[in-house]
């Protein structure tokens, strides 16, 4: 193994030299390893037909995904298994990991709409990450599959302990293969968006047509204090996926709840407040007519049939999402499933 990574990918990311320079090397099994940047490492086998980004650490206190990425990279470098897909592994925000905080100045996962002005370190970091992913996807062959799993941990309890948010884009990307992967990973739920979100996974979906999702893995915990056995099915699904040997039996047997977003509540003033406890669990259900939030006399109430709240947070910055409202959704899996901006998820794509 390369001496710089002998202590592990995470250790290098958290204690890298100030003058890091990109370099590459080859493992005895023929895998090319390209260490592009601090926290950005590419694994490149010959004749790959998939390009997969697996990112973590966008929020520094969401540590289970960081540990999972470190485990995957360590096993690849030690020859425990050999991926057949080009894969870009990312541990995004070492400064926030060191500080045991979500971010330093600005929420990094709201900075992927475009190139950012250099107003703070998070803006600069988002620009760097976009460039790394851009180069990674641009270097794929025309028919290669493109995927991006951006892994997070929730800051609150949830009816569904592990779930994925599929961003809406303007691309005609059939997201049904994600359903099979999530079932094999024993994820509990899948949430289909309707609006652009400026998240990392949205950026890959919108710009490259990648099958992209934000994964929510349990609750936040201090680094190395996660029970990683909780995420063993996800880890195994990722290994199977990277090795091109998906677990079809697990995908068939596992039940996956699917939701669609009905509305996004955006905070437009500091007067915004939720009408329920700020620590309410994700997917808490509200009956039709129940009050959800209030802002300067404008009341938000649950719509016909009721709605469940996901990611409720009155403390976000003005202009950011304060809550997603969702309802159950059952797609016809015999037909394409498109998740396009401003339209119902379904077999009809935006032209």
| Distance of alpha carbon 97 from the chain centroid | 17
Q: Give the closest residue to 9 by CA, choosing from 92, 86, 80.
A: 92
What CA dihedral angle connects 257, 258, 263 and 268, to 10 degrees? 70
Is 62 flagged in the annotation as binding?
A: yes
Question: What single-letter DSSP state applies at residue 338?
Answer: B
Outline where DSSP puts E strands in the chain. Answer: 23-26, 32-37, 40-44, 50-56, 86-91, 145-154, 162-166, 189-192, 211-219, 257-266, 273-274, 284-286, 291-295, 298-301, 307-310, 321-328
Q: Which long-range contacts (CB under 8 A, 24 or more apart) does 269-273 make?
A: 269/295, 269/296, 269/318, 270/318, 271/295, 271/296, 272/314, 272/322, 273/314
Q: Which two tokens stand for residue 165?
A: 């948010």
Q: Which two tokens stand for residue 21?
A: 């320079």
Concerning whether 216 is annotated as a catalytic residue, the answer is yes
Is 160 flagged in the annotation as binding?
A: no
Q: Catalytic residue among 122, 216, 295, 307, which?
A: 216
Is 35 flagged in the annotation as binding?
A: no
Looking only at the bridges linking them, the beta strands covering 211-219 and 162-166 are antiparallel
Q: Which residues are annotated as a binding site?
A: 59, 62, 152
Q: Which residues are annotated as a binding site for Zn(2+)?
A: 59, 62, 152
Provide the annotated active-site residues: 216
């Amino acid at each position: 193994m390369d001496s710089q990574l002998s202590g592990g990918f995470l250790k290098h990311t958290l204690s890298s030299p100030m003058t890091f320079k990109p370099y590459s090397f080859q493992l005895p099994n023929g895998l090319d390893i390209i260490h592009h940047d601090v926290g950005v490492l590419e694994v490149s086998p010959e004749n790959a037909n998939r390009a997969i980004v697996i990112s973590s650490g966008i929020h520094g206190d969401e540590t289970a995904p960081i540990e999972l990425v470190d485990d995957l990279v360590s096993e690849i470098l030690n020859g425990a298994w050999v991926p057949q897909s080009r894969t870009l592994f990312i541990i995004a925000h070492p400064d926030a990991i060191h500080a045991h905080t979500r971010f330093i100045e600005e929420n990094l996962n709201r900075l992927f709409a475009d190139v950012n002005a250099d107003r703070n370190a998070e803006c600069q970091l988002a620009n760097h990450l976009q460039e790394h992913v851009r180069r990674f996807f641009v270097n794929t062959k025309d028919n290669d599959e493109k995927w991006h799993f951006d892994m997070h941990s929730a800051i609150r309890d949830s009816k569904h302990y592990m779930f994925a948010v599929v961003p809406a884009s303007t691309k005609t990307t059939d997201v049904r293969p994600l359903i099979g992967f999530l079932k094999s990973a024993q994820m509990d739920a899948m949430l289909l968006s309707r609006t652009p979100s400026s998240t990392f996974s949205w950026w890959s979906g919108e710009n490259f047509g990648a099958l992209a999702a934000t994964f929510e893995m349990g609750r936040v915990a201090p680094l190395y204090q996660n029970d990683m056995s909780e995420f063993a099915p996800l880890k195994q699904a990722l290994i199977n996926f990277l090795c091109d040997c998906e677990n079809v039996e697990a995908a068939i047997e596992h039940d996956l709840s699917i939701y669609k977003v009905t509305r996004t509540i955006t905070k437009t003033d500091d007067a915004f407040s939720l009408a329920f406890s700020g620590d309410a669990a994700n997917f808490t259900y509200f009956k039709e007519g129940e009050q959800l939030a209030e802002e300067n006399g404008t009341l938000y109430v649950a719509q016909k049939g009721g709605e469940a709240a996901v990611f409720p947070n009155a403390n976000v910055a003005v202009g950011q999402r304060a809550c997603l409202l969702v309802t159950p959704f059952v797609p016809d899996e015999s037909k394409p499933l498109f998740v396009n901006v401003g339209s119902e998820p379904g077999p009809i794509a935006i032209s």
